[in-house]
């Protein structure tokens, strides 16, 4: 994560920008308020001075007033002048009073002005009317430089302090983000280390039960699921390779033996027959494995079919196999059922269930039922075979699952049949149930909703 | 060479039996671990070919059990598993060699011969006695540099006597070695083979010990 854009720098960038903007706005408002308060303090002081002066005006002959001497002013320096009401001319003034035209201000309704002059700089002027002892205006003025210096000082402090504040905030944010990112970095590290061959890794759960905790938990669960899936695939691979190796061994061996010496035609014929048988077996195996994928493409295809007819077709296609094992297929109940569904899925279900019953039965009967009950179609197959043990019964519909018994009895298969049935049933709204007694037989009940 | 094949898959079993008999092996078969174990303990074999995956009792268990009971016959394991772990487990349990399915029949033959040479012929592939030279790899016998035409049984018997060189081999031992458990032979067949071997090779090579059997010095 050197030159790459990372989460931390993005967060810090946005946070920094946001805080900087906030600081600028906040400080501008603060500065303006401060300025206002300083100015109004000047205004108040000037007003007080104006009133004090007004009260202490001494009337003179010729309607001329004299300014009081040495009053205690809250600010300094103070310049005072009195203007007559009629001609707006100065009647009396302190020595310091500056000579700027007052006329526009006197006419205004406002009391307080900040005036910029070339000669005296910024000056605060307060104007108040006088009624006695004569009519006129009193003007009190003071230079603003003291206030302005104070404001400037504060402004400079702000300029210096704000970036420091921003820096400290970002530093804090940086530490917090680092802390938040530690578990995320852990996840990344473990995730990088996990591979198909090494799915035993888990990320240690953080102490705090927060979103990161949830993330870690979800991640670990995902790894567990993956591990299960990979195990299943590995088991399947090992099963397939085992099942493939047997016919291939026979094929290879038979062909090699035939070629070792010159043989008579009968010998070659026999070898070819054996080879063909093994090739057919290999083809069946591949077909069955492909059926699984094929089913998924069948979901949307529906047509009206006569289930009883389809079942009879399936039964007759299996009759030779049944005869070879001395198994009698007996149809006990067969109702005429017209049903709109996918024929391939239904056929797959019928075929697999009856085929299983034949596979796991030697010398016995397989009873077949097909009927309607309420709004369900019921397909039942009962055999007199080896049965399924209690611990196996929940697992037999799992993909590639084969019971110890069926392996030991060398019954060919890959544990795909029932998982294919289960998958097919999902698509046509059906359910499967097994009732079994070991060494006595198994009853498979399939119910398909008609609606 | 007499071998026992313990293999549950009928097609493989038939193929191996036919193929090996065609190469003048004497073959006994067992279709499950228990039968195989019984035969291995009962009879003498030069090599046992043992499948890993067997019904009732796994091949590896059979191997462990027969080794426990002191059967030292070399064992070649056949298996559809070919991971290194399995190989190690097989060899650690007392297997002498290991062949993964699908294997080449030629390789199986070569390995069986190698095992036989190692265990029975003590590593040599050629023996010279006086003017007679026996090549175990090519299964050829020469006298004065000329190839002597021997039948399979004649060669087998010669090899068996050489494998047990110096010790007396009884009629029963020869019968067990040269014919499988299902074959019955008339009593003088062995005598006939010995007679012919003496004629083809040398009168002095195979010596008799009355009522006990034959031996090569």
A343 or B90, higher pLDDT: A343
Q: Quick one: A220 and A135 in the same domain?
A: no
Look at residue B47 in the predicted model and tell me its pLDDT. 93
A205 belongs to a structural domain: no
> A88 burial class (0-12, 13-18, 19+ CB within 10 angstroms)?
middle
CA dihedral B77, B80, B82, B87 (to 10 degrees): -30
Say if residue B138 is in the same domain as residue B172.
yes
Q: What are phi and psi of B131, to 5 degrees?
A: -100, 10
Q: Are residues B83 and B150 in the same domain?
A: no
Query: What's the whole-number mean pLDDT along residues A399-423?
Result: 74
**A119 and A60 share a domain?**
yes
Q: Are residues A227 and A306 in the same domain?
A: no
Between residues 61 and 100 of chain B, which touch chain A (CB distance below 8 Å)?
Answer: 80-81, 100
Interface test with A, best of B15, B22, B31 (most A CBs within 10 A): B15
Mutation target to probe the B interface, by most B beta carbons within 10 A, among A248, A250, A275 is A250
Q: What angle do CA A354, A357, A361 make, to 5 degrees?
A: 145
Taking contacts as CB-CB distances below 8 angstroms, the residues of chain A near B16 are 253
- Owner of token pair 């426990």: B68
CB contact under 8 A, A252 and B11: no
How does the average pLDDT of chain B come out, rounded? 86
Q: Is residue A115 assigned to a domain?
A: yes
Give the Å distances, CA to CA, from A330 to A167, A315, A322, A368: 88, 9, 11, 6
Residue-level pLDDT at A409: 63
Domain-located, residue A203: no
Question: Residue range A234-257: average pLDDT?
Answer: 84
Residues B140 and B101 in one domain: no
Does A386 fall in a domain?
yes
Domain check: are A13 and A147 in the same one?
yes
Q: Would you say residue A100 has pLDDT above 70?
A: yes
Read off the pLDDT band of A1 (50, 70, 90): very low
B109 and B11 fall within a common domain: yes
- Mean local confidence (pLDDT), A353-372: 92
Residue B169 has pLDDT above 90, yes or no: no
Greatest alpha-carbon span in chain B: 54
pLDDT of residue A2 exceeding 60: no
When the pLDDT of each residue in chain A is averaged and rounded to a whole number, the result is: 85
> Which of B61, B94, B119 represents a domain boundary (last residue)?
B119
Instruction: Tell me whether A280 touches chain B (CB under 8 Å).
Output: no
Same domain, B137 and B114: no
Q: Quick one: A276 and A304 in the same domain?
A: no
Examine residue A119 and state whether it is found in any structural domain, yes or no: yes
Looking at beta carbons, which residues of chain A come within 8 Å of B53?
242
A437 and A386 part of one domain: yes
Whether residue A317 sits in one domain with residue A230: no
Domain boundary (A289, A312, A331) is at: A289
Are residues A242 and B53, on separate chains, in Cβ contact within 8 Å? yes
Burial A155-184 (b: 16+ CB within 10 A, else e): eeebeeebeeebeeebeebeeebeeebebe
Which tokens hold the place of A173?
């944010």
Q: Are residues A21 and A63 in the same domain?
A: yes
Nearest Cβ partner for B15 among A245, A250, A410: A250
Let me know whether B163 and B207 are in one domain.
yes
| Same domain (yes/no): B132, B87 | no
Domain coverage including residue B200: 126-216
In our burial notation (b when 16+ CB lie closer than 10 A, e otherwise), range B42-66 reads eeebbbbbbbbbbeebebbebbebb
Question: Does residue A69 lie in a domain region?
Answer: yes
Q: Model ipTM?
A: 0.73
Return the CATH number at A445. Answer: 3.30.565.10
A102/A127: higher pLDDT: A127
Is pLDDT of A61 > 60? no
Which two tokens mark B151?
């039948």
How many Å apart are CA A84 and CA B193, to the nearest integer? 164
Contact A248 B22 (CB under 8 A): no
Is the pLDDT assigned to residue A441 strictly greater than 70?
yes
B101 vs A246, A278, A410: nearest CB: A246
The fraction of chain B above a pLDDT of 90, given in percent, is: 19
Higher pLDDT, A28 or B8: A28
Distance CA A336, CA A345 (A): 19
Q: Within this chain, do residues A22 and A131 fall inside the same structural domain, yes or no?
A: yes
How far, in Å, CA of A96 to CA of A79, rounded? 6
Give A320→chain B minimum CA distance, Å: 21
Of A19-33, A125-139, A340-354, the one with minimum mean pLDDT is A125-139
Instruction: Name every chain A residue with its beta carbon within 8 A of the beta carbon of B106.
Output: 256
**Is B201 a residue whose pLDDT tops 90?**
no
Asked if A249 and B101 come within 8 Å (Cβ–Cβ), the reply is yes
Judge if B89 and B141 occupy the same domain. no
Q: What is the largest CA-CA distance in chain A?
A: 163
What range defines the domain where residue A133 resides? 7-152
| Number of domain units in chain A | 3
Measured CA to CA, the distance from residue A296 to residue A400 in angstroms comes to 18
Residues B131, B210 within the same domain:
yes
Q: In the prediction, which pLDDT does A62 show?
A: 56
Please give the tally of structural domains in chain B. Answer: 2
Closest C-alpha among A351, A337, A345, A257 to residue A305: A337
Q: Which of B119, B154, B186 is the last residue of a domain?
A: B119
Token pair 């049935």 is found at A421
> pLDDT band for position A64 (50/70/90)?
low
Strand partners, A136: A84, A130
- At A69 the pLDDT is 65
B9 touches chain A (CB under 8 A): yes
Inspect the interface and report whether the beta carbons of B56 and A408 lie closer than 8 Å: yes
- Give the mean pLDDT of B8-30: 91
CATH number, domain containing residue B66? 3.40.50.2300
Q: End of a domain among A126, A152, A178?
A: A152
- pLDDT for A449: 92
How far apart CA A50 and CA B17 sit, in angstroms, is 133
Tell whether the model's pLDDT for residue A251 goes beyond 90: yes
Q: Give yes or no: residues A312 and A423 share one domain.
A: yes
CATH code at position B200 = 1.10.10.10
Tell me the CATH number at A270.
Answer: 1.10.287.130
Q: What single-letter DSSP state applies at residue A109?
A: S
Is the predicted pLDDT of residue A272 greater than 90, yes or no? yes
> Measured between beta carbons, which residues in chain B are less than 8 angstroms from residue A408?
55-56
CB contact under 8 A, A257 and B104: no
What are the backbone angles phi and psi of residue A418, rounded to the nearest 5°?
-70, -30
Q: Which of B89, B119, B149 is the endpoint of a domain?
A: B119
pTM over 0.90, yes/no: no
Q: Is residue A409 part of a domain?
A: yes
Instruction: Looking at the structure, tell me whether residues A285 and A334 fall in a common domain.
Output: no
Instruction: Kindly state whether residues A306 and A430 are assigned to the same domain.
Output: yes
**Quick check: A257 and B19 CB within 8 A?**
yes
User: B113 and B131 share a domain?
Assistant: no
Model pLDDT, residue A156: 94
* The dihedral sign for the CA sequence A305, A308, A313, A317: positive
Residues B42, B105, single domain; the answer is yes
Residues B10 and B113 in one domain: yes
Distance from CA of B157 to the nearest CA of A (A): 23
The average pLDDT across A414-420 equals 80
Q: Would you call A372 an interface residue with chain B, using a CB distance cutoff of 8 Å?
A: no
Is the link from the previous residue into B102 a cis peptide, with omega within 30 of 0?
A: yes
Q: What confidence score (pLDDT) does residue A445 get?
A: 95
Whether the CB-CB separation of B46 and B74 falls below 8 Å is answered with yes
Higher pLDDT, A62 or A363: A363
Query: Residues B15, B42: contact at Cβ < 8 Å?
Result: no
Whether residue B61 is predicted with pLDDT greater than 70 in this model: the reply is: yes
B19 touches chain A (CB under 8 A): yes
User: B171 pLDDT exceeds 80?
Assistant: yes
> Do residue B102 and residue A408 have CB atoms under 8 angstroms apart?
no
- Per DSSP, A160 falls in state H
Does residue A179 lie within any of the structural domains? no
In Å, how far from its chain's centre is CA A111?
63
Residue of B nearest to A240 (CA): B80
């Amino acid at each position: 994560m050197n030159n790459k854009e990372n989460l931390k720098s993005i967060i810090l960038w946005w946070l920094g920008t946001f805080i900087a903007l906030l600081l600028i706005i906040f400080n501008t408002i603060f500065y303006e308020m401060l300025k206002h308060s300083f100015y109004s303090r000047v205004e108040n002081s000037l007003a007080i001075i104006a009133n004090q002066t007004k009260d202490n005006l001494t009337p003179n002959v010729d309607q001329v007033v004299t300014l009081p001497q040495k009053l205690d002013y809250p600010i300094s320096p103070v310049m005072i002048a009195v203007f007559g009401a009629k001609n707006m001319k100065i009647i009396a003034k302190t020595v310091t009073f500056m000579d700027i035209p007052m006329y526009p201000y006197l006419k205004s309704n406002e009391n307080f002005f900040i005036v910029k002059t070339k000669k005296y700089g910024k000056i605060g002027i307060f104007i108040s009317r006088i009624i006695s002892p004569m009519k006129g205006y009193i003007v009190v003025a003071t230079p603003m430089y003291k206030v302005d210096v104070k404001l400037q000082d504060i402004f400079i402090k702000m300029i210096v302090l704000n970036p420091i504040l921003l820096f400290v905030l970002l530093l804090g944010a940086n530490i917090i983000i680092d802390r938040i990112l530690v578990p995320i970095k852990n996840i990344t590290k473990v995730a990088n280390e996990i591979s198909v061959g090494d799915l035993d890794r888990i990320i240690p759960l953080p102490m705090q039960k927060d979103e990161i905790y949830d993330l870690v938990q979800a991640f670990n669960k995902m790894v567990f699921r993956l591990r299960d899936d990979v195990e299943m695939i590995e088991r399947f691979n090992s099963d397939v390779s085992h099942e493939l190796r047997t016919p291939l061994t026979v094929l290879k061996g038979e062909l090699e033996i035939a070629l070792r010496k010159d043989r008579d035609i009968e010998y070659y014929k026999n070898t070819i027959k054996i080879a063909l048988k093994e090739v057919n077996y290999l083809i069946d195996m591949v077909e069955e494995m492909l059926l699984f994928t094929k089913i998924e493409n069948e979901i949307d295809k529906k047509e009206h079919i006569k289930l009883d007819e389809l079942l009879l077709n399936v039964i007759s296609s299996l009759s030779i196999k049944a005869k070879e094992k001395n198994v009698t297929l007996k149809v006990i109940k067969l109702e005429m059922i017209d049903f709109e569904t996918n024929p391939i899925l239904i056929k797959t279900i019928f075929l697999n269930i009856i085929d299983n019953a034949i596979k796991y039965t030697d010398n016995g009967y397989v009873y077949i039922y097909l009927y309607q009950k309420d709004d369900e179609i019921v397909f039942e197959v009962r055999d007199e075979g080896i049965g399924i043990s209690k611990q196996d019964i929940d697992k037999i519909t799992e993909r590639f699952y084969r019971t110890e018994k069926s392996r030991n009895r060398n019954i060919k298969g890959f544990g795909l049949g029932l998982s294919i049935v289960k998958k097919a049933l999902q698509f046509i709204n059906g359910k499967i149930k097994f009732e079994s007694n070991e060494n006595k037989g198994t009853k498979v009940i399939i119910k398909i909703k008609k609606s | 060479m007499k071998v026992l094949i313990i293999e549950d898959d009928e097609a493989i079993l038939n193929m191996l039996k036919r193929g090996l008999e065609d190469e003048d092996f004497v073959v006994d078969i067992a279709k499950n671990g228990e039968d195989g174990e019984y035969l291995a303990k009962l009879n003498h074999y030069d090599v046992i070919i043992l499948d890993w995956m067997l019904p009732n009792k796994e091949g590896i268990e059979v191997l462990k059990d027969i080794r426990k009971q002191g059967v030292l016959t070399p064992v070649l394991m056949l298996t559809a598993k070919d991971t290194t772990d399995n190989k190690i487990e097989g060899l650690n349990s007392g297997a002498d060699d290991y062949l993964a399915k699908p294997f080449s029949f030629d390789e199986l033959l070569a390995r069986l011969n190698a095992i036989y040479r190692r265990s029975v012929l003590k590593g040599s592939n050629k023996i010279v006695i006086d003017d007679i030279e026996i090549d175990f790899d090519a299964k050829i016998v020469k006298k004065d540099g000329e190839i002597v035409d021997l039948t399979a049984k004649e060669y087998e018997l010669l090899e068996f006597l050489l494998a047990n060189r110096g010790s007396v081999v009884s009629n029963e031992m020869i019968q067990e070695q040269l014919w499988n458990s299902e074959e019955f032979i008339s009593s003088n067949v062995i005598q006939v083979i010995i007679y012919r071997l003496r004629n083809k090779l040398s009168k002095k090579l195979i010596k008799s010990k009355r009522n006990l059997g034959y031996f090569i010095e």
